[in-house]
Every structure is written in C-alpha cells, then in structure tokens.
Amino acid sequence: MISFSVLGIAQTAGSKRAFPFKRKDGRLGVAVSDDNPRAKDWKALVAWSAREAVGSGFVPLRCALEVEFTFYRARPKGHRVGKGGPNKGWREHPFPNGRPDVLKLARACEDALTGVVWHDDSQIVTETLRKRWGEAPRVEITIKEAE
C-alpha cells in the first residue's frame, strides 16, 4: 500500500485543448494544453510527493489498483447559511459541495501519478473520491493492489 498527502489547494485537470501546428521541417504536429493554467504546478507537486513516498528506483505498478482521494478544502469565513429551523440558529454546510468538481480534481491527480506510481490510470478498477473541510488544504492519496 502507498499512502501520502500533498499540501496545497488542489487544482482541476479541466478540459484539454488541441492546437495543430506546422514544424520547421514541414510536418504537422499537435500541442495539447489544459484550460486551467494552475494545473501544471499542482500536477508537478503531486508527482514530486509521490516520488518522495515511493522512493528512488520505484518501478510504476502494472496491476489492477484501488485508489482513494480525499480532498480537504479550507472553510470559507462566511459559509454559514440559513437562520431558524429546528436548530434555532445558524447552520454550517457539512461538506464542501460547491466547485470544483471532485471528479476533475481526481483526474488531475491521476494524470500526475501516471508514469510515477502506475503505468496508466486505466489500471484503476476501484476509486473512492471525497471532499471534506479541513484545517490545511490538501489531498490524501491511498493506492493499493486490487483484491
């Protein structure tokens, strides 16, 4: 089992855009970019943290995998909503149910871990995704061989 945390505000992978271009030798090429400019730094941080967790000389896994991603978001200062009701007071949102989309957050981490922890993210057969409130923004990642 591999388990590690990455401190920071998780970024989404978002949509990809492809741009055709002509090389100097006349051949055509395609450049692919992410629509989130902050995703590149986040993916690099996730990959670096994974390398630290597995150590040097680690060979990416090629087996079926179970993966858990738990994303912790900082609580906004004014996120209390509503007044009254059965609690006769202010209620807090129990979960961070707004943007960003947890699936797109996971996709950025999956991309970052490809070639570092696993050969390809298609090896993931079970995936658990969570968004929670936490003191420090981070993602906690657990990877194990599927049973």
Helix (H) or strand (E) run with residue 30 in it: strand 28-34
Q: Among candidates 69, 48, 34, 39, which has minimal Cα distance to 117?
A: 48
Which helix (H) or strand (E) segment is 140 a member of?
Answer: strand 138-145
CA 42 → CA 47, 61, 103, 111, 114, distances in Å?
A: 9, 22, 15, 11, 14
* Total of domains in the chain: 1
Range of the domain at 114: 2-145
Band (pLDDT 50/70/90 cuts) for residue 58 is very high
Q: What is the pTM of this model?
A: 0.81
CATH of residue 62: 3.30.1330.70
Q: What is the pLDDT of residue 135?
A: 85
Average pLDDT estimate for 3-9: 97
**Rounded to whole angstroms, how far apart are CA atoms 117 and 143?**
9
Q: How confident is the model at residue 37 (pLDDT cuts 50, 70, 90)?
A: confident
